[in-house]
Amino acid sequence: MTSKEAASDSMPEQRRIVLRSLHDLLERIGSANDAEDHGYGAEAEQMRKEACEAIRGLMREHAFLREMFSTLQWELDTQHILGFGWTDLEDSVEKFVGK
């Protein structure tokens, strides 16, 4: 068993679900960036807005996210998450859920 698998196995199921949701929302930001690159600016903006709102909602409901990802609030507030921050966060989430 790898350390990634061990970390995932010892985590409560609800936390894994929340982290998978966060991962999916971060991927949505990446997809929005791709959409914008292909000329779908308005759609990309809407995707980003919805993803960031959903991430803020997860943070309100699940305080452990602030503990696990100390820069998450800053990423959202500065919008760094929209450019490159989402990839670093996604990598961090993957360490916990074993993706």
The string of pLDDT tens digits covering residues 63-84 is 999 999 999 999 999 999 999 8
The string of pLDDT tens digits covering residues 5-44 is 444 456 799 999 999 999 999 999 999 999 999 999 999 9
CB 20 within 8 A of CB 97: yes
| Closest among 32, 2, 19 to 90, alpha carbons compared | 19
Amino acid at the residue 22: L
- Per-residue pLDDT, 29: 98
Ramachandran class of 62: left when φ > 0, alpha when ψ lies in -120 to 50, beta otherwise: beta
- Per-residue pLDDT, 3: 42
Task: Give yes or no for residue 2 having a pLDDT over 90.
Answer: no
Write down the domain spans for the chain.
13-97
Q: What does DSSP assign to residue 71? A: T
- Per-residue pLDDT, 66: 95
Residue with tokens 């490159």: 84
CA 25-11-69 angle, 5° bins: 45
Selected residue with higher pLDDT from 94 and 5: 94
CB 59 within 8 A of CB 66: yes
- Per-residue pLDDT, 9: 57
